Amino acid sequence: MTEGTDLVTISDPAPEGAASTELAPLGDQAPVTAEEHSHPGPREYVLIAVVLVILTAVEVATSYLEGNVNSNLLIVALGIMAAVKFFLVAAWYMHMKQDSQVFRRLFLTGLILASIVYGILMLFFSSTVLKS
């Protein structure tokens, strides 16, 4: 320690008369569990990447289907596969699984609202997209 500097750790109480900048006393904070902030290892990232590659290959193969295939069914199948891939990328590569509940809820709220708007627009244009 150099002379003339005082180091104060976070666990030290604030000096008397000093304004506290903490939101809650240290005793009131919830303990952080290892499960809550444990990040996936390289093996899990590679496994998710393999699943994403397989899903992408299935999507491409599905888009090339011709013949006696119901186009409405193809649209639904491609949408479901895209949603699964989006979930995998958001959960693991964007670390939403390990993120705070507040950020997760904000993300999901935006996602739900965007899905509602997308669904409404699909209903408006369903006569040009969907075939009976």
pLDDT digit string (tens) for 73-110?
888 899 899 989 998 888 888 877 777 889 888 988 99
How many structural domains are present in the chain? 2
Q: Residue 57 and residue 69: Cα distance in Å, rounded?
A: 19
pTM score above 0.85: no
The answer to the question of residue 67 being in a domain is yes
Do 73 and 53 belong together in one domain? yes
Q: Residue 77 and residue 82: Cα distance in Å, rounded?
A: 9
Do 44 and 94 belong together in one domain? yes
The predicted model gives 25-29 an average pLDDT of 51
Do 81 and 115 belong together in one domain? no
Do 63 and 94 belong together in one domain? yes
| Residue 123 dihedral angles phi and psi, to the nearest 5° | -65, -40
- Nearest C-alpha neighbor of 49 from the set 85, 97, 95, 94: 85
DSSP characters for 6-20?
A: ----TTSPPPTTPPP
Residue-number span of the structural domain to which 108 is assigned: 99-132
**DSSP H helix total and E strand total for the chain:** 5, 0
Of all residues in the chain, the percent with pLDDT exceeding 90 is: 23
Contact 95, 39 (CB under 8 A): yes
